[in-house]
């Protein structure tokens, strides 16, 4: 593993000292990894399903672990098991009326927005002998993302951010505001970890995003079940663009846009493992994604 900043080893994995964290990172990134260069934003359900297809092949021992960055057409993406989706027909009707695709992911958590301002990071690896645990996956897999952000002057870490969408203890936050939401799925010998990074935008865009998620849940009947409908506070959110501007108040350098940010993240993961192999998904993986794509759509159909 390449030399990386000490901040990646601060804290602990399940209460373990920094030395164990360093050993765990070294073991994780020492194996060969694939960088999957496959992105079809015009096919949102297939794009989402490809992550699961890739992870299945990893879990079966047929492919090495992978890192993938991809973009999403304007979509509201939530878990297939989201308890807030009481009225799926109402949710789908609201999405169609407001220009969103409705997608259902295999990992847990609540609704997030995919759009021209966000960037999706997916990592899949084989789970062996209990490694990585749930906590280890959440702590170790974002290492390249944290490294890329640090090199931009953005200090991020794990934190719950009450009032943010899809809140949880494993948000990535900067200055107390949510910068990325994360989730994972564990099945059939693999771990599939997702992050939705708020890459660009300011207060107006974040307010619109929060408002749309609230309206989506009202249309979905959230609050009529066991859980109340979410009340979101857009001031709890931030973006890489906003954090960059805060770290570079003189404005002498241009703001890194989504394409540049993606390249910085790729280089950071390449540094971590030292042998990141860029390639497209295989034919069988693409075919499996086509088979899985319908499961990413609500029963009444949607785009993709």
Model pTM above 0.85: yes
The answer on pLDDT for 106 being more than 70 is yes
Q: How confident is the model at residue 9 (pLDDT cuts 50, 70, 90)?
A: low
At 237 the three-state DSSP class reads strand
Q: In the sheet that 190-198 helps form, which strands lie side by side, from edge to edge?
A: 157-158, 172-174, 177-187, 190-198, 118-126, 66-70, 33-36, 276-279
- 21-296 CATH: 3.30.930.10
Name the residue among 182, 181, 189, 170 with its Cα closest to residue 55: 189
Q: Which residue among 115, 166, 273, 296 is the active-site one?
A: 166
If one compares 18 and 32, the residue with the highest pLDDT of the two is: 32
Q: Tell me if residue 296 is catalytic.
A: no
Provide the pLDDT for residue 6.
55
> Residues 115-126: pLDDT tens digits?
999 999 999 999
**Tokens read off for 179:** 């910068």
The residues spanned by each domain of the chain are 21-296
Beta strands 118-126; 190-198: pairing state:
antiparallel
pLDDT bucket at 14, cuts 50 / 70 / 90: very low
pLDDT tens-digit map of 132-160: 888 889 988 999 999 999 999 999 999 99
Residue 162 has pLDDT above 90, yes or no: yes
Reported as a pLDDT band with limits 50, 70 and 90, residue 1 is: very low
| 276 pLDDT tier (thresholds 50, 70, 90) | confident
List pLDDT tens digits, range 254-270: 899 999 999 999 999 99
């Amino acid at each position: 593993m390449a030399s990386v900043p000490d901040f990646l080893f601060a804290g602990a994995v399940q209460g373990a000292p920094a030395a164990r964290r360093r050993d765990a990172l070294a073991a994780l990134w020492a194996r060969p990894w694939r960088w999957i260069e496959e992105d079809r934003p015009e096919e949102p359900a297939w794009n989402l399903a490809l992550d699961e297809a890739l992870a299945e092949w990893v879990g079966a021992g047929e492919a090495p672990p992978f890192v993938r960055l991809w973009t999403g057409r304007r979509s509201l993406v939530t878990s297939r098991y989201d308890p807030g989706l009481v009225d799926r027909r109402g949710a789908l009707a609201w999405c169609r009326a407001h220009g969103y695709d409705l997608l259902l992911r295999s990992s847990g958590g609540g609704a997030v927005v995919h759009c021209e301002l966000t960037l999706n990071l997916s990592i899949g690896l084989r789970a062996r002998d209990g490694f990585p645990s749930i906590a280890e996956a959440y702590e170790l897999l974002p290492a390249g993302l944290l490294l890329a952000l640090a090199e931009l002057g953005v200090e991020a870490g794990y934190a719950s951010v009450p009032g943010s969408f899809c809140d949880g203890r494993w948000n990535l936050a900067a200055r107390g505001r949510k910068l990325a939401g994360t989730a994972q799925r564990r099945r059939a010998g693999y771990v599939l970890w997702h992050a939705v990074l708020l890459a660009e935008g300011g207060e107006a865009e974040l307010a619109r995003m929060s408002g749309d998620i609230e309206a989506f849940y009202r249309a979905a009947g959230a609050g009529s079940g066991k859980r109340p409908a979410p009340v979101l506070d857009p001031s709890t959110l931030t973006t890489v663009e906003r954090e960059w501007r805060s770290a570079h108040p003189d404005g002498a350098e241009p703001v890194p846009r989504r394409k540049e940010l993606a390249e910085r993240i790729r280089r950071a993961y390449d540094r971590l493992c030292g042998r990141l192999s860029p390639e497209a998904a295989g034919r069988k993986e693409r075919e499996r994604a086509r088979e899985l794509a319908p499961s990413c759509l609500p029963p009444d159909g949607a785009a993709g």
